[in-house]
Every structure is written in C-alpha cells, then in structure tokens.
Amino acid sequence: MILSKPTIQRYLENGSISVRPASGAGSIRPFGIRIHLSDEILRPRSKVIDLGDPAQMDDLYERESIAESPLVLEPGDFVLGATVEAFKVDPHLACKLDGRSTLARLGLMIHCTADTIDNNTGSHRAVVLELKNISSFTMKIPFGYGIGMLTFFRGSEPVDPEDEQSQYDDQLKVTGPNLAFPAPLLGREYLVQS
C-alpha cells in the first residue's frame, strides 16, 4: 500500500518517517515527499571497469561542487547526485524513487534502475540519484532544485534489521558504487542447462 499525504504527515509527526533536514509543508505531495538536488555530484572518469575485479574500483569519479553554479548536463551525460534530504523509516516501510513528469518530458532521468530504497531503518541516508540526460538539450540544474519524489510503501511484515546490508550506512552525500561489498555471483554450474 502506498502512503498518502495524511498518513505521511502522521508518520512524520510520530517518527515512523524521519527526514533531515525536515521537509516543509510544500514538499509533502499527495503520495510522497519532494526531494531536492544536493550541492555535490560525481562525474564518471573515462576508464574500463571490470566488475569481476573490485580492487580496481578506486578513482572512478571526479567530485564537483554545484553550490555556486548549476550542474550542466550535456546530451548523453551521466552523473551521480544525491538528495539534500536524508531519510530514515520504520522497519515496516520501504521507499521508492520517482522522477518528475515535467523533467522526464525534457529528457532527464533521475534513476537508471534502482528505484526501491531499503536498508534505511538503522540510520538516516541520503538517496543517490543516477542522473542521465537523454535529450538533445543542454540542461542546467541548480543546487536545491526539486528533482523528484520519494514515495513510501508498507511491507507485508517488518524487516529484520539483521537482513539489512551495510554498504551504504550513514550515506549523507553522493557516494559511488561500493563494489567491494560481496555481490551475489551465480556459479557456472547453475548456468549450464541439463
């Protein structure tokens, strides 16, 4: 079940949803909370990435500030950003990241694939944004711009804190991929059809 504005407001008041800094009343939408672009981005460096070798994952991105001048996304550009807001929710809730229709109509994607946000019941975490300009426009996006919305869903049962992955605990700014964290790898024996 997706939470609506009255429930979100009630959960903000009782602490089931916690946002730092606190969202203003105008940021609470009928079915979510508006999120805003933080003041730093990570721009990928040009290099070959071997996902089978996490040791070579250092120095993938150049950190840039957009506090004084806007983020410039040329057609085809991809960067990582983060939300100004950091969220923490009760174990029976999960969040989903949604882009804004207005920005989508301009060709701006704010997440490439990972729109479900979990593992944020133990600490506040900013949401990392995967920003991609798929249009022919050059876009300038200022720090603090309302870039998307977080919606909240109630799970069938509360999650066990032991099941939470810790690779992005206390993530309060834009953070690159943690490929050193053990990822599930299917062995060749499972890939061969009998």
- 123: pLDDT strictly greater than 90: no
Give the integer Cα–Cα distance in Å for 54 and 58.
9
User: E strands within 100-169?
Assistant: 108-109, 116-117, 125-133, 139-141, 146-154
Q: What kind and span of H or E run contains 32?
A: strand 32-36
Give the model confidence (pLDDT) of 28-61 as tens digits. 999 999 999 999 999 998 878 777 776 666 678 9
- 193: pLDDT strictly greater than 70: no
User: What pLDDT shows up at residue 174?
Assistant: 83
Give the model confidence (pLDDT) of 56-96 as tens digits. 666 789 999 999 999 999 999 999 999 999 999 999 999 99
Hey, what are 190's tokens?
């499972």
Distance in angstroms between the alpha carbons of the first and the last residue of the chain: 41
Give the model confidence (pLDDT) of 91-107 as tens digits. 999 999 999 999 999 99
User: What pLDDT shows up at residue 194?
Assistant: 47
User: What pLDDT shows up at residue 184?
Assistant: 59
Structural contact between residues 117 and 94, judged by C-beta atoms closer than 8 angstroms: yes
Q: Verify whether residue 68 is a known catalytic residue.
A: no
- 165: pLDDT strictly greater than 60: no
Give the integer Cα–Cα distance in Å for 13 and 78.
37
Contacts of 5 (CB under 8 A, 6+ apart): 28, 29, 30, 31
Percentage above 90 pLDDT, the chain: 57
| Identified catalytic residue from 130, 157, 162, 164 | 130
Contacts of 134 (CB under 8 A, 6+ apart): 75, 76, 107, 108, 109
Torsion of CA 85, 25, 120, 177, to 10 degrees: -30
Contacts of 24 (CB under 8 A, 6+ apart): none
User: What pLDDT shows up at residue 56?
Assistant: 63
Q: Are strands 108-109 and 125-133 parallel, antiparallel or unpaired?
A: antiparallel
Cis peptide before 184 (omega within 30 of 0): no
Hey, what are 57's tokens?
């994952």
10 Å CB burial of residue 37 (0-12, 13-18, 19+) is buried
Kindly report the pTM of this predicted structure: 0.83
How high does pLDDT run on average in the chain?
85
Q: What kind and span of H or E run contains 189?
A: helix 188-191
